Copies of this chain bind each other. A is one copy, B any other.
Amino acid sequence: MAAELVHAGAVDRGLAYGDGLFETMRAHGGRLPWWPRHRARLTEGAARLGIAMPDEAKIDAALADALALAARDHRGDAVIKLLLTRGVGSRGYAPDEGAEPTLVLAVSPLPSISDRGLVVDLLDLRLAVQPALAGIKHLNRLEQVLGAREAAARGLDEGLMADGDGFVTCGTRANLFAHLDGRWITPPVDRAGVAGIARGVLLEQWRPDGGLHVAPLRIDDLSRVEALIVCNAVRAILPVARIGARELRARPDDFTQARAALAASHPAFHES
């Protein structure tokens, strides 16, 4: 392919600086059951970055187009990715506050999801601590790309990512729920990581009795973790079989209850 030659004012800031946000969503039966949650996170991210949210009608029309494509090509069950950037702008980091945001919708087939427990391990790569960007799903994802490369090179199904202060925060593409010292915890995402949609549903609906806590998970704690679940909005929850060479417990009752909590709000995640 030849190189592209453009005037600098024509480069989208999403490409130039990763100046934008995205949402990766599981469509089911031609609908996006968790769209209100994705929209809320997108809105918070836009506010944090100072990006104007497009009109709701424009987003709805774009989602309808994406769902139509998903219906035509994938019988309505697909992954729909929404990208929102600050738009096309002149050269330089300082944004033109009047720029019109760019909206891109991308449709892809569902990934194949195995039922077997995952093999994970702590990656060598550390996440940088950046409270200004933590929690939101922005487009600066080189750490996840490098983490996924390391996980693939080590033959792992998923890599566990700790931050520079030694707190295990997430997988490269998933949040974590760990059974540690007799209780379920999920790490906070206010210094690194993303506030995952499936994580949010589980926090609200999995253990309404209070048996689930947002609490730090240190690297040293990994040797005592009894059970581990990874989750995201496409694959829902998957159990972890091993951290490195160490076998974990399955806790099938807990896993079934967690999946039921997700299925209650997203019908794609009913047990098959």
Contact = CB atoms under 8 A, between A and B. Distances in A.
Given A92-B173, A93-B148, A107 B139 contact: no
Interface stretch (A7-15, A27-35, A209-217): A7-15
A95 B144 CA distance: 10
Interface stretch (A129-137, A222-230, A237-245, A250-258): A129-137
Nearest to A4: B104
Q: Is the interface of A mostly helix, strand, loop or mixed?
A: mixed
Contacts of A95: 145, 148-149
A3 B148 CA distance: 29
Interface in A7-53: 7-19, 22, 24, 49-50
Interface in A139-167: 139-149, 151-152, 164
Contact of A92 (B105, B107, B132, B148): B148
A113 interface: no
Contact of A8 (B15, B79, B172): B79
A205 interface: no
A3 B62 contact: yes
Nearest to A61: B3
A247 interface: no
Contact of A66 (B5, B12, B62, B125): B5
A263 interface: no
Interface string A94-135: 110000101111111001000000000000011011101100
Contact of A3 (B11, B24, B103, B142): B103
Contacts of A86: 145
A270 interface: no
Given A15-B14, A151-B94, A152-B94, A6 B106 contact: yes
A167 B152 CA distance: 34
B11 A104 contact: yes
Contacts of A108: 7-9, 90-91
Contact of A12 (B15, B19, B58): B15
